[in-house]
Amino acid sequence: MTRVKLLMGLAAIAVAIGLWFALTAPPDALQGQYSRLLGIHPPAMWVAFIAFGITALGSIMWLIKKTERWDRLAAASVEVGVIFTAIGLFTGMVWGQAVWGTPWDWQDPRLMSTAVMFFVYLGYLALRSSIDDPNLRARRSAILGMIAVVQVPLVYFSVNLFRTLHQGQSIRPDGSTMPDEMLIAMLVNMGALMVVYVALMVARLDVAKAEAAAAPESTVAGEAVRPPRLNEVEDV
């Protein structure tokens, strides 16, 4: 069995355990069944934050070491992080419709900062696909990956910094604001989604390696007629 298949199997088991906890926790007195979304909405956003943190780490390491594997790590983590952010936004909208009576509020700092973060990382992926030179692509995306991560604490602490529809932090240094059963369900799902993240990352890195090995020397159309670069021109 390959490493990816083993990790995907582990992820499926972890998700099944997480779902069991989320679906058997007692419903909230006010929110009813919607409180079960604690098992997907906060864990998905936390995993996205970690993913973007790992992108920043990969970006910084690429700028220091200039080795391809750090660039691959950063790119893979953005892709997976964007998936989890999309899930966080979607589940949040369903929850918002149920609890606030609206899926979206254009003036809400938590919602808007999350949406901006989502689009910035989509922009990161667009930037990567628009540059063919691997070195230039790695450098430019490393700079963006390093800068974009400042949004993570901004999104996370936006509920403390501004007035917002969104509830405050559920887990604070002085303890949790929710009953133990709900807290445990949320943390178990956090663990389950972390296993999913690791499985998807390993699969994505494998794809990147396989594609790099299969790729021709250059994928640039018209490479033969490109103008010489300054560092390629010999002194005469």
Using DSSP's 3-state secondary structure scheme, residue 148 falls into: helix
Judged by CB under 8 A, the residue of 19, 61, 125, 127 near another protein is 19
Site string for another protein, 145-184 (x = CB under 8 A): ----------------------------------------
**Does the footprint of another protein cover residue 199 (CB under 8 A)?**
yes
∠ at Cα 48 (119, 113), nearest 5°? Answer: 45
Closest CA to 55 of 35, 72, 43: 72
**Does the footprint of another protein cover residue 9 (CB under 8 A)?**
no
Using DSSP's 3-state secondary structure scheme, residue 28 falls into: strand
Amino acid of residue 188 = V
Select from 48-56, 166-174, 209-217, 223-231 the region that touches another protein (CB under 8 A).
209-217
Query: For another protein, which is the closer residue by CB, 132 or 211?
Result: 211
Shortest distance, CB of residue 160 to another protein, whole angstroms?
27
**Does the footprint of another protein cover residue 194 (CB under 8 A)?**
no
**Does the footprint of another protein cover residue 29 (CB under 8 A)?**
no
Strand stretches in the chain, DSSP E: 171-172, 175-176
CB atoms inside a 10 Å sphere around CB 189: 26
CA distance 189 to 42: 9
**Does the footprint of another protein cover residue 30 (CB under 8 A)?**
no
CB 95 within 8 A of CB 37: yes
Binding region for another protein (CB under 8 A): 8, 15, 19, 22, 32-34, 36-37, 39-40, 44, 80, 83, 86-87, 90-91, 94, 98, 196, 199-200, 203-204, 206-207, 210-211, 213-214
